[in-house]
Structure 1
Amino acid sequence: MEDSVKLNILQELIQINTVNGHEQPAAEYLKQVLSDHGIESDLIALAAGRTNLVAEVGEHDGPVLALAGHLDTVDVGDSNKWQHNPFCGQVIDDAIYGRGSVDMKGGLAAMVNTLIELKEAGLPKHGKVRLLATVDEEIGGLGSLELTRQGLVRDVDAMIVGEATTNRLEYAHSGSFDYRVKSYGHLAHSSDPSLGINAVANLARFFEYERHAFDDVKASPSLGSLIHSITVFHGGRQLNSIPDYAYLEGNVRTIPEFDNTAVQNRLQTLVDRLNAEMDGQFELEVVASFMPMATDPADQFVSLVQQSYQTVAGQSLPLAVSHGATDASRYILDEHRFPIVEWGPGREEMSHQVDESLSVAEYLQADQVYLQIAKDFFGDD
């Protein structure tokens, strides 16, 4: 493929507004691109306007290498703060601008280019490369969860998630557990608070207990300490009334040694304790749950990816971990176990930013890295 064709694919993909919940036009566009190069793909609907895409090249017999990415982006925020139209896909010097250029239409387009180049070369000779393009990664991971439920990773032998990693190979990332705690009290006039039950005051008690709820959790050798924060606190509607309802929201960055199930059980135990000790009632609600992912850094696939990158880029690819969750959190829910790593073009710190931009050189090199990984994985010339 000519570089101009590769760049045009990314530009057109950026020009499609795929803010979370509106991913289908991008899936349909990529299906047409793949079809134009003789590659069939399936659109797997999740809901109205939301469609995953799955495509394969290669033979039915042999190992399966998965290239995974997502179609959705975060919102642009205040578009007046952007110097460049968020959906322009404009190239200026060595950068292509637009929402999703880094997170992660650059990585996804590079994977599409890789599939096309493999098809043109008649590769792989023994095995398959499967592209998984999902909806809803930025919020709930429902797209990758649906593909997992449908068994589309059950035969996978290794996976690359194409998130931007600032030229590092991420072999592990923290999980993410979002929760809400609701506090129910009894309404009363503030002139006689003894007649009521103050839901805000009770919730403040939970806040204090939560600060030390995970003090005994030991750090993970790969991901470090479990990180927990209460980020939203809301209660009361009127200055002269004892509030009968309040809630808070929190986030826990989980580790394999103390995962989302363990965190939920710990928080539920705290809620049960307060319900037994205090007037009023507490209720725990799980808002979202992404499991931590960790591949052994000594795994053969990790070394293979590093060597493939060295072959293409002429430099080493250091190992790293991340505290952000990805679709890998959903794919590891399958009972079948396989190594997963994350590598893609772009600097992580550009994700979700105003005037998000990606180096054109990095983008054009990315599919060559993916292509080399596939060749090395299958042992093809």
Structure 2
Amino acid sequence: MTLTDPAQTLAALIRCPSVTPEEGGALTTLSGMLSELGFTNDRVTFSDEDTPDVENLYSRLGSSGPHLMFAGHTDVVPVGDAGAWTQDPFSGAIFDGEMYGRGAVDMKGGIACFVSALARLIKKKGPPKGSVSLLITGDEEGPSINGTEKLLSHAAAKGEKWDAAVVGEPTNPDRMGDMIKIGRRGSLSGTLTVEGTQGHVAYPHLADNPLPGMMALAGALLDPPLDGGNERFPPTNLEITSVDTGNPATNVIPARCTAKFNVRFNDQWTPDSLTDELRRRLDQAAADAASQGQRSPVRFTVSFAERASPSFLTRDDALIEALSAAVEEATGRMPALSTTGGTSDARFIKDYCPVVEFGLVGKTMHMVDERVAVSDLETLTGIYELFLERWFESAVAR
């Protein structure tokens, strides 16, 4: 295998069936590649109650600063119906200019391109004047408990410090060069329960239907909008994702109704301020319902997930400019600087150093026939190589 060829490095990783939480040979394959480039590898397994053990990899080349981290994950989501794939999901087969396989874009492809970019740079100019590390988890597509967060803490406890980081998630919506992620919205999940009294629908005076109360409270969560967004972030968005009474009968008034919701919030909120606002809205809606003559008070409880993810924004101009310039040089397009999308492991890394995200086109991630254009692998490898040169030149000069 030639490490300078991203198609070869990616195919080797795709052939490892590393469905979360299984390592599947992916970290072994990757650590072998990195050893060939001169990296030292630290394989570590983390455990936690009620979650599967997860293997992780931390590799470093160099011993001095400046220090750049590349972060990612080798675990992948299940293939779904393997029979629906036109190519074996763990083959890395190339058909009509595209490589097929689970993880092709999310995100073994990003890892493969970074390894090949390093291999090309080392072959042409030698190792960077500083240090490069790869922080790779096997837990990103799962609970995210025994992965990046613990691996960062483990490395930091051993004295590791980083000046900047790049996460290789697929950030481009349509074509290479579209978008760099310079921050992420926060995420908060909650459960709202309205209590009632079960009874026969023909005798409503003997029961208390929780659904009218749920509709009033859910409406208060949704309206008015939480904010209008700002120049850095889109508006905060709350989505009710399920409403359930657990009642299969049409002639029974249910005893309770439960709704689940998720909020993707911008930097106008913290998890604490957002939960305070949502509780205020619910209390007000319950009081309003009582004042408007609802037959009985709205009895409700609301709980929020303990692991809320805060929003963040990266303001490291040198990091952003080095990556933007590399993208523009390689593609001819100036990428948008965005905070859209879901959460990623960047939410953990931002506590240690400035972090941005840039990778492949994500159109087929998690789908049947996940695939990547071989030409995009070449483009991303070129971008990473240019970025490495620019960032280290700038960082050494500072």
Do they superpose with TM above 0.5? yes
Aligned to 1:247: 258
Contact 2:16/2:24 (CA < 8 Å) preserved in 1? no
Among candidates 206, 228, 237, match of residue 227 of structure 1: 237
> Residues of 2 paired with 1:314 and 1:211: CA distance?
41
The verdict on how the C-alpha distance between 1:190 and 1:255 changes in structure 2, with shifts beyond 3 A counting, is same
The verdict on how the C-alpha distance between 1:101 and 1:284 changes in structure 2, with shifts beyond 3 A counting, is same
3-state DSSP class of the match of 2:182? strand
Among candidates 43, 49, 55, match of residue 51 of structure 1: 55
Shift of 1:87: 1.8
> CA offsets, 1:14-54, max 9 Å, x none?
12223333246322332233234442211222344521211
Aligned to 2:303: 284
> Residues of 2 paired with 1:3 and 1:119: CA distance?
11
Contact 2:3/2:119 (CA < 8 Å) preserved in 1? no
> Residues of 1 paired with 2:205 and 2:89: CA distance?
55
The letter of the residue matching 1:343 is F
> Residues of 1 paired with 2:349 and 2:182: CA distance?
14
**Does structure 1 residue 266 correspond to structure 2 residue 277?**
yes
Contact 2:43/2:56 (CA < 8 Å) preserved in 1? yes
Aligned to 1:199: 210
- Which segment drifts farther, 162-171 or 257-266? 257-266
The verdict on how the C-alpha distance between 1:378 and 1:320 changes in structure 2, with shifts beyond 3 A counting, is closer
The letter of the residue matching 1:355 is D
The letter of the residue matching 1:248 is A
Shift of 1:63: 1.9
> Residues of 1 paired with 2:235 and 2:42: CA distance?
41
Aligned to 2:294: none
**Does structure 1 residue 185 correspond to structure 2 residue 191?**
no
Aligned to 1:112: 115
> Residues of 1 paired with 2:119 and 2:312: CA distance?
29
**Does structure 1 residue 352 correspond to structure 2 residue 355?**
no
**Does structure 1 residue 217 correspond to structure 2 residue 227?**
yes
The letter of the residue matching 1:185 is G
Contact 2:3/2:33 (CA < 8 Å) preserved in 1? no
Contact 1:291/1:330 (CA < 8 Å) preserved in 2? no
Between the two proteins, what is the percent identity of the paired residues? 27
Shift of 1:241: 2.8
The verdict on how the C-alpha distance between 1:187 and 1:46 changes in structure 2, with shifts beyond 3 A counting, is farther
Contact 1:253/1:323 (CA < 8 Å) preserved in 2? no
> Residues of 2 paired with 1:262 and 1:79: CA distance?
45
Among candidates 339, 345, 367, match of residue 354 of structure 2: 339
1:1-381 pair list within 5 angstroms? 2=2, 6-23=6-23, 25-47=25-47, 48-59=52-63, 61-117=64-120, 122-125=126-129, 127-142=130-145, 143-150=147-154, 152=156, 155-166=161-172, 167=177, 168-212=179-223, 215-239=225-249, 240-273=251-284, 278-286=297-305, 289-296=308-315, 299-311=317-329, 313=330, 315-321=332-338, 322-332=340-350, 334=351, 336=352, 338-345=353-360, 347-379=361-393
Query: Any stretches of 5+ residues in structure 1 without a counterpart?
Result: none
The verdict on how the C-alpha distance between 1:285 and 1:358 changes in structure 2, with shifts beyond 3 A counting, is same
The letter of the residue matching 1:280 is R
Aligned to 2:293: none
> Residues of 1 paired with 2:233 and 2:215: CA distance?
30
Q: How many residues align?
A: 372
Shift of 1:56: 0.8
> Residues of 1 paired with 2:153 and 2:208: CA distance?
45
> Residues of 2 paired with 1:293 and 1:323: CA distance?
13
> Residues of 2 paired with 1:248 and 1:65: CA distance?
43
Q: TM-score, normalised by structure 1?
A: 0.86
The verdict on how the C-alpha distance between 1:151 and 1:74 changes in structure 2, with shifts beyond 3 A counting, is same
The letter of the residue matching 2:230 is S
> Residues of 1 paired with 2:20 and 2:45: CA distance?
15
Q: TM-score, normalised by structure 2?
A: 0.82
The verdict on how the C-alpha distance between 1:63 and 1:233 changes in structure 2, with shifts beyond 3 A counting, is same
Contact 1:111/1:131 (CA < 8 Å) preserved in 2? no
> Residues of 2 paired with 1:44 and 1:351: CA distance?
27
> CA offsets, 1:183-205, max 9 Å, x none?
33333343433343333333222
> CA offsets, 1:158-204, max 9 Å, x none?
11111122323222332332322233333334343334333333322
Contact 2:192/2:260 (CA < 8 Å) preserved in 1? yes
Shift of 1:207: 1.4
Shift of 1:363: 1.3
> CA offsets, 1:290-326, max 9 Å, x none?
3323223x81221111223344x26243223122221
- Which segment drifts farther, 72-81 or 249-258? 72-81
The verdict on how the C-alpha distance between 1:190 and 1:25 changes in structure 2, with shifts beyond 3 A counting, is farther
The verdict on how the C-alpha distance between 1:146 and 1:272 changes in structure 2, with shifts beyond 3 A counting, is farther
The verdict on how the C-alpha distance between 1:287 and 1:351 changes in structure 2, with shifts beyond 3 A counting, is farther
Shift of 1:90: 0.4
